[in-house]
Structure 1
Amino acid sequence: MPLPLHVDVALTHLMGRKRQTLVSVTGAALGVGFFIAMAALMQGFQAFFIATVVDVAPHITISDEFREPARQPAVAAFPDGAVAVRGVKPQDERRGIKRGFAIIDALEEMPGVLVAPSLQGQVFLRYGATERNAALVGIDPRRELAITRLEKDMVAGSLLDLETRPDGVVMGVALAKRLGAAPGDRLTAISPAGVLRRVTVVGLYRTGVTAFDDGMAFMLLKQAQILQDRANVINRIRLRLDDVDSARAAAARIEARFAYKAESWQEANEGIFNAFVIQNAIMYSTVGAIMVVAAFGIFNIISTVVFEKGRDIAILKSLGFAEADIRRIFLIEGVLVGVVGALLGWAIGYALVAALASVRFDLGGGQGAIQNDRFYLAYSITHYLIGAAFSITAASFAAWLPARRAARLNPVEIIRGAA
């Protein structure tokens, strides 16, 4: 089946300058290929980080804090008045979530929500002559299994061992290493309230998140309340949702209902996500720069064709080709370069991603170490489509100006000039 006349003419022009066409196609292909590889690498790491955070931490944490401080009575009485309150002595009050278990009952009525109470406070852990500060979290082990994936990160023991050992404590591998402790060792726990208790290490976990592995320990909620001298008090309610992406909206609704600060996992890691935005901007800027260079090559080849094929353009116009037809021919040339560059770029990108996937790092690590000896890669057809859109858009834009110039050429002036 013969090609349409416009396409046939465009191909003839491109094949007449094979070297320049090959350079332009290669530039577009490299831009697409490197974009696919960079996108797979960066978004793969971002997805791994988010999955790690979502697995380790609850989706929403309700704490015994308020996002805005309480308004003083004078300010509340005269909201529009020129009232200034200074030197207010804060009232001493018992910290904790008031009616915490009633709030838990209300939250459990919400569909797709799992809830667990906890009491978090600081504690000094002493083993021999070594002391380390840690955040001690009192938990209900069975509820904890539902709201976090900490159990799958255990390298020794289990969270459920806390039920059989009331004096048990579970801590991160890094914290245990700093203390020089191992499962079965007896430690001394001292709270800021001055309460001292002997505890036994019954489990170790490794999440790969430093804040958890190096600075947190878990024990039974009742035992933590005794150690902190805060009987029947909880200061955290932690939630896990079926729809993890709805955490921010759900947290806003919960905070509006119960007044206590409700922080979603997105809000807690907002600084990291802002860094991801900058990272993605760098990626798109780099690929954009590559495509701009390729676009200049396409602009150069089509401009040269317009300059060299002046007589051909005059003949085409004399045969009845309109300006739109001439413009279409040269636009097709740019689009063809962009399409071929995109297809070759897909192959290059696939090869680069496969090469990155085969790279292995010897990072050492003992039993239970996170297996991060490779690149985390995100495979997505979207990367290929975006890369192709980059290539075709840049090529079309580069071909537009020469195409307009070709369409405006006057055949009479061309023939006279040639004569």
Structure 2
Amino acid sequence: MAGPALRIALDVALAHLTSRKRQTLVSLTGVVLGVAFFLAVSSLMRGSELDFLARLVDNSPHVTVYDEFRRAPDQPAHLRWPGAAVEVRHVKPQRETRGIRGWSERLEAIEALPDVRAAATLSGSALLGFAGRQQAVALNGVVPATLRDVSTIDEKMVQGTLQSLEAHPNGVIIGQGLLDKFSLHLGSTLTVLASDGSSRALRVVGVFRTGNASYDEGQAFVLLKRAQALLGRENRVNRIIIQLSDPYEARTVAQTVEGMTGYKSVSWIEASEDFLSLLLVRNLIMYSVVAAILVVASFGIYNTISTIVMEKTRDIAIMKSMGFHASDVRNIFLLEGLLVGLIGSAGGVLLGLVLMRGLAEVVIKPPGVQEVVHLPLWWGGDQFVLAAVFALVSCVLASWLPARRAAGVMPVDILRGAA
């Protein structure tokens, strides 16, 4: 459409819209509210999703290497004589101390990968006892210097630090829940009873609080060498935990590490597939609902422009008899839908920002929780673009049928009937 023709079409479109102020205002209001609610719901849902993923990712390793194999290795007899007629049964395997063999070399190989941080740990079950009370915990043997790079536990410390284990070889770090349950304090002495019956007195040198009651009551951290001695696994580890610069590369890195080490490597994505599937379904439902709001708003535009076409049929016939082509007439009514979409999108984005700011100020304090919770919101620009584009497309599509009907008006029939 050339410049003068575009200006004429724009003037006519504005004249049509302003001639029906009430209907145009209703259509604009529908688009504004649709875009605003689209942004408010989208930012809230995506914010909660990212907050959930952040908690899931930050509180667990991106990749965990276990001291087991994804598939049990074939027996030597099967490898030597595949499909043999003779089968040896009831062969008792040799007993060995479980753990990742050659873990120091494997750890160095993993750390050599780009954007990878890793630490070796030894986890096992133990009983913590104090004043006749006992609590089963997962005893984690760690090297504080390396664990800080792959875990957020140091950020969760409320008393002491992770480095306190270096200064106190017989120290233990426990959760706030266990501290309260046993009525302990920093410096108290606990008795640790291992599965083989051995015990040792450990001193509480640090306390952490994650907000997860089961974790705070069921986890304890000691030096790696102390855990190896207590669990009877000298010079062994059974976990290598890995953190990545990009958590979403975890699946690829897990496959690479498993190929390098031979041991089962599980990414957080693999371990949380059910949660991720649930989030995907939730997003589909969310976008369907907010999109339906804009679709409903577009019916108001369709109604407004259809009414204008019916009322301006004689004017359309006169314009065609003056030399306007069918495409020129169609473009006029498409411009009307585009104008409503542009103005409505701009107003909707502004109202959406106000709603989002209001939601960001909402404070929730669930019963029994000490800390207040703010609604997590996503302020990414892509959702603003998506809302505006969807609103514009809906408005233009809503005006397409009336515009097509206007373009098909036959001026001879209309003017003859008017005469």
Give the TM-score normalised by structure 2: 0.90
Secondary structure of residue in 2 paired with 1:231:
coil
CA displacement at 1:330 relative to structure 2: 1.1
Structure 1 match to 2:233: 230
Distance 1:386 1:157, change over 3 A: same
CA displacement at 1:63 relative to structure 2: 0.8
* Among candidates 294, 297, 300, match of residue 294 of structure 1: 297
Structure 1 match to 2:67: 64
Structure 1 match to 2:309: 306
Q: Distance in 2 between matches of 1:292 and 1:317?
A: 32
State whether residues 363 and 372 of structure 2, in contact with CA within 8 Å, keep that contact through their aligned partners in structure 1: no
Q: Distance in 2 between matches of 1:175 and 1:50?
A: 27
Equivalent AA in structure 1 for residue 17 of structure 2: L
* Among candidates 263, 266, 275, match of residue 266 of structure 2: 263
Deviations 1:57-85 (A, max 9, x none): 33221111222233456766798x799x9
State whether residues 337 and 398 of structure 2, in contact with CA within 8 Å, keep that contact through their aligned partners in structure 1: yes
- More moved, 46-55 vs 62-71: 46-55
Structure 1 match to 2:285: 282
Equivalent AA in structure 2 for residue 10 of structure 1: A
CA displacement at 1:113 relative to structure 2: 2.4
CA displacement at 1:293 relative to structure 2: 0.8
Structure 2 match to 1:11: 14
Equivalent AA in structure 2 for residue 27 of structure 1: G
Distance 1:297 1:204, change over 3 A: same
Distance 1:36 1:210, change over 3 A: farther
State whether residues 127 and 180 of structure 1, in contact with CA within 8 Å, keep that contact through their aligned partners in structure 2: no
CA displacement at 1:211 relative to structure 2: 5.3
CA displacement at 1:122 relative to structure 2: 1.8
Structure 2 match to 1:218: 221
State whether residues 342 and 391 of structure 1, in contact with CA within 8 Å, keep that contact through their aligned partners in structure 2: yes
Q: Distance in 1 between matches of 2:271 and 2:361?
A: 34
State whether residues 167 and 223 of structure 1, in contact with CA within 8 Å, keep that contact through their aligned partners in structure 2: yes
* Among candidates 21, 25, 45, match of residue 22 of structure 1: 25
Distance 1:49 1:87, change over 3 A: farther
* Among candidates 98, 112, 115, match of residue 109 of structure 1: 112
Give the TM-score normalised by structure 1: 0.90
Structure 1 position 394 matched with structure 2 position 384:
no
Structure 2 match to 1:122: 125
CA displacement at 1:119 relative to structure 2: 0.4
Equivalent AA in structure 1 for residue 399 of structure 2: A
Matches within 5 A, 1:373-384: 373-384=373-384
* Among candidates 17, 35, 55, match of residue 32 of structure 1: 35
Deviations 1:139-195 (A, max 9, x none): 001111122232121101111111122221112222333344332222222233333
Structure 2 match to 1:154: 157
Q: Distance in 1 between matches of 2:19 and 2:75?
A: 83
- More moved, 24-33 vs 203-212: 203-212
Distance 1:184 1:404, change over 3 A: same
CA displacement at 1:379 relative to structure 2: 1.3
Secondary structure of residue in 2 paired with 1:253:
helix
**C-alpha RMSD over aligned residues:** 2.7
State whether residues 63 and 262 of structure 1, in contact with CA within 8 Å, keep that contact through their aligned partners in structure 2: yes
Secondary structure of residue in 2 paired with 1:4:
helix
Structure 1 position 193 matched with structure 2 position 193:
no
Distance 1:294 1:82, change over 3 A: farther
Deviations 1:295-325 (A, max 9, x none): 1111111111111111111111111111111
State whether residues 195 and 229 of structure 1, in contact with CA within 8 Å, keep that contact through their aligned partners in structure 2: no
Equivalent AA in structure 1 for residue 114 of structure 2: P
Structure 1 match to 2:341: 338
Structure 1 position 411 matched with structure 2 position 414:
no
Distance 1:89 1:212, change over 3 A: farther
Structure 2 match to 1:354: 357
Structure 1 match to 2:385: 385
Structure 2 match to 1:328: 331
Secondary structure of residue in 1 paired with 2:374:
coil
Distance 1:19 1:411, change over 3 A: same
CA displacement at 1:294 relative to structure 2: 0.4
Equivalent AA in structure 2 for residue 280 of structure 1: N
Q: Distance in 2 between matches of 1:111 and 1:362?
A: 42
Q: Distance in 1 between matches of 2:179 and 2:61?
A: 23
CA displacement at 1:335 relative to structure 2: 1.2
Q: Distance in 1 between matches of 2:247 and 2:56?
A: 11
Matches within 5 A, 1:202-213: 202-210=205-213, 212-213=215-216
Runs of 4+ that moved beyond 6 A = 85-90
Structure 1 position 319 matched with structure 2 position 322:
yes
> Structure 1: 5+ residue runs without aligned partners?
none
Structure 1 match to 2:51: 48
Q: How many residues align?
A: 415
Q: Distance in 2 between matches of 1:378 and 1:304?
A: 40
Distance 1:161 1:12, change over 3 A: same
Q: Distance in 1 between matches of 2:391 and 2:203?
A: 62
State whether residues 132 and 179 of structure 1, in contact with CA within 8 Å, keep that contact through their aligned partners in structure 2: no
> Structure 2: 5+ residue runs without aligned partners?
none
